[in-house]
């Protein structure tokens, strides 16, 4: 099977029923490289460190400043979502975009995805949100190689949607695991591996789709060329033959970094280095600045969702 499309062009699970045009998700080989390269170059590890280290730190501290004196917060909406949205806006040159509006767009799209995954039809709110996203992205695009305008918009939409949704979930899941299972008692030096273990334990995107390029038999199942195959990243990350005691969150797990939360191959997540930086920075600053950080016992939470997994809310207290 090719490590190829996560969503096809006319698949409503991404476009909510709208034809979004070709993108890096829907191409392979040289065409895939042409679509991906203009965005991938600025997201290589060294480039991310140079361009985004100070941006992510400043945005994280500004968000914490807004609620630090309150003694309580809902971290998904107060920190994780806004941080992911602001960083993606910077990446795409949309600094003037209103964070609340951006979060509203992807909330509507995600809800539409969940409805369709459960057997329903794309929602009108999801369709409208995608069009608003398109209108905001198109004027700001530049340095996109030889991509046509429609191709550039489609890829920018992929970057915006993926960068906000999965990074928000990654941050929320990480903080949930650290607070629920370690009560925040984590040495800062352990946080990088904790990020990897959280990705393994609870990937923000639990499943991906791929298409078979030839007839194969996999695990006794016959798969014909062209068949859609839904792959559980969450299941692979809990393979007991590779990750012993897979249902236990273990920040010392030696092979945690071998998780496949960002998929693998040519279509590995283009923003994985930036997402890791955001999650690690958020965790560092939250523990440094909010002593006694803990989950509000009156408002317990846990990750949930069929395709996208994260706590619906993550209410916390501190001293």
**What pLDDT score does 245 carry?**
97
What local confidence, expressed as pLDDT, does residue 228 receive?
A: 86
Q: Is the dihedral angle over the CA atoms 274, 277, 282, 285 positive or is it negative?
A: negative
Is residue 318 in some structural domain? no
Q: What is the pLDDT of residue 2?
A: 34
Alpha helices in 183-271 (DSSP H): 191-201, 233-236
Residue 22 belongs to some domain of the structure: yes
Our measurement of the distance from residue 59's CA atom to the centroid of its chain's CA atoms, rounded to an integer in Å, reads 18
| Residue the block writes with tokens 């600053």 | 285
- Which pTM does this prediction carry? 0.85
Domain annotation covers residue 4: no
Backbone angles phi, psi at 135, to 5 degrees: -65, -35
Residue 198 lies in a domain: yes
Report how many domains make up the chain.
1
Region for residue 205 given its phi and psi (left: phi exceeds 0; alpha: psi -120 to 50; beta: otherwise): beta
Say if 2 falls within a structural domain. Answer: no
Condensed to tens digits (0 to 9), the pLDDT of residues 215-269 reads: 999 889 999 988 888 889 999 999 999 999 999 999 999 999 999 999 888 888 9
Enumerate residues 6+ apart whose C-beta is below 8 A from 246. 237, 238, 239, 240
- Determine if residue 216 is left, alpha or beta; phi over 0 gives left, psi from -120 to 50 gives alpha, anything else beta: beta
In angstroms, the CA 158 to CA 60 distance is 24
At residue 62, the pLDDT reads 97
229-258 exposure pattern, b = at least 16 Cβ within 10 A, e = fewer: eebebbebbbeeeebeebeebbbebeebee
At 95 the pLDDT is 66
Q: Is residue 206 part of a domain?
A: yes
pLDDT score at 13: 40
Under-50 pLDDT residues of the chain: 1-20
Q: Are 228 and 207 in contact (CB under 8 A)?
A: no
d(CA 7, CA 122) in angstroms, rounded, equals 15
Domain of residue 43 covers 12-291+300-311
Is the separation of the CB atoms in 204 and 261 below 8 Å? yes
- Residue 159's nearest CA partner among 129, 122, 134 is 134
Residue 219 in any domain: the answer is yes
Query: End-to-end CA distance of the chain, in Å?
Result: 52
> Does 6 reside within a domain?
no
Distance separating alpha carbons of residues 82 and 164, to the nearest angstrom = 9
Residues 6 or more apart in contact with residue 11 via CB below 8 angstroms: 209
The CATH number assigned to the domain holding 160 equals 1.10.630.10
The pLDDT value given to residue 163:
87
């Amino acid at each position: 099977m090719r490590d190829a499309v996560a969503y096809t062009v006319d698949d409503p699970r991404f476009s909510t029923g709208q034809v979004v045009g070709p993108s890096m998700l829907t191409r392979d080989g040289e065409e895939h490289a042409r679509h991906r390269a203009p965005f991938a170059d600025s997201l290589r590890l060294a480039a991310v460190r140079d361009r985004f280290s100070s941006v992510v730190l400043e945005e994280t501290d500004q968000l914490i400043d807004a609620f630090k004196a309150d003694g309580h917060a809902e971290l998904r909406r107060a920190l994780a979502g806004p941080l992911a949205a602001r960083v993606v806006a910077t990446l795409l040159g949309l600094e003037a975009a209103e964070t609340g509006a951006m979060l509203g767009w992807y909330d509507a799209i995600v809800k539409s995805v969940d409805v369709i995954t459960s057997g329903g039809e794309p929602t009108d709110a999801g369709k409208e949100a995608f069009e608003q996203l398109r209108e905001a992205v198109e004027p700001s695009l530049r340095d996109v190689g030889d991509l046509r305008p429609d191709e550039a918009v489609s890829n920018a939409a992929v970057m915006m949607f993926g960068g906000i949704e999965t990074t928000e979930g990654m941050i929320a899941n990480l903080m949930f695991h650290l607070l629920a299972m370690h009560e925040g008692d984590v040495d800062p030096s352990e946080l990088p591996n904790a990020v990897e273990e959280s990705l393994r334990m609870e990937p923000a995107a639990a499943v991906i789709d791929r298409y078979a390029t030839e007839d194969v038999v996999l695990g006794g199942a016959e798969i014909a060329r062209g068949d859609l195959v839904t792959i559980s990243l969450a299941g692979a990350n809990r393979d007991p033959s590779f990750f012993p005691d897979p249902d236990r969150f273990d920040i010392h797990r030696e092979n945690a970094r071998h998780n496949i939360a960002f998929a693998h191959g040519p279509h590995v997540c283009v923003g994985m280095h930036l997402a890791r930086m955001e999650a690690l920075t958020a965790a560092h600053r939250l523990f440094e600045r909010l002593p006694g950080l803990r989950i509000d016992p009156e408002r317990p939470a846990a990750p949930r969702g069929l395709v996208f997994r994260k706590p619906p809310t993550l209410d916390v207290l501190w001293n």
